[in-house]
Amino acid sequence: MAQQLQQLPPGSPQSAGAVPRAKANSFSALLHRSPRLRLAGLLTAPALWLVLVYVAALAALLITAFWTVDTFTGEVSTEWTTENIVTVLTDPVYQRITLRTVWIAVAVTVIDMILALPIAFFIAKVAPARWEKLLVVAVLMPLWASYLVKAYAWRNVLSEGGLLEWLGAPIGLSSPGYGETAVIVTLSYIWLPYMILPIYAGFDRVPDSLLEASGDLGAKPLTTMRLVMLPLLVPSIIAGTIFTFSLSLGDYITAQIVGGTTQMLGTVVYANVGAANNLPFAAAVSLVPIAIIMFYLFIVRRTGALNSL
Partner 1 sequence: MRLSRSAKVVLGVITGLVLLFIYTPLLLVVVNSFNADRTFGWPPKGFTLEWWGKAFDSPGVRDAVVSSVWVALVSTIVSLVLGTLLAISLQRYEFFGRDVISLLVILPIALPGVVTGIALNNMFTTILGVPLSLWTVVIAHATFCMVTVFNNAIARLRRTSAGLEEASSDLGAGVFTTFGLVTFPQLRSALLAGGLLAFALSFDEIIVTTFTIGAGETTLPIWILQNLFRPNQAPVVNVVAVVLIVVSIVPIWLAQRLSGDSVGVSEARVKADGR
Site for partner 1 in 198-227 (CB under 8 A): 198, 201, 211-212, 214-215, 219, 221, 224-225
Q: How far is the CB of 4 from partner 1 (least distance, A)?
A: 9
Of 275, 153, 154, nearest to 267 by C-alpha is 275
Q: How far is the CB of 58 from partner 1 (least distance, A)?
A: 5
Identity of residue 231: P
Q: Using CA atoms, how far apart are residues 102 and 244, in angstroms rounded to an integer?
A: 12
Q: Which of 28, 81, 95, 174: binder of partner 1 (CB under 8 A)?
A: 28
Q: Which of 121, 178, 203, 263: binder of partner 1 (CB under 8 A)?
A: 121
Helix, strand and coil percent figures for the chain, each rounded to 5: 80, 0, 20
Q: Which of 180, 241, 286, 305: binder of partner 1 (CB under 8 A)?
A: 286
What residues between 246 and 275 interact with partner 1 by CB under 8 A?
246-247, 249-253, 256-257, 265-266, 269-270, 273
Pick the piece of the chain touching partner 1 (CB under 8 A) from 9-17, 81-89, 90-98, 152-160: 152-160
Task: Collect contacts of 240-243 with beta carbons under 8 A, ≥24 apart.
Answer: 240/112, 240/113, 240/116, 240/194, 240/195, 240/196, 240/197, 240/198, 240/199, 241/109, 241/113, 241/195, 241/300, 242/296, 242/297, 242/300, 242/305, 242/306, 242/309, 243/191, 243/194, 243/195, 243/198
Q: Which of 153, 233, 238, 300: binder of partner 1 (CB under 8 A)?
A: 153
Q: Which of 1, 89, 110, 234: binder of partner 1 (CB under 8 A)?
A: 1
Does residue 278 touch partner 1 according to CB under 8 A? no
Does residue 150 touch partner 1 according to CB under 8 A? yes
Q: x/- site string to partner 1, residues 49 to 88, per CB under 8 A? A: xxx-xxxxxx-xx--x-----------x------------
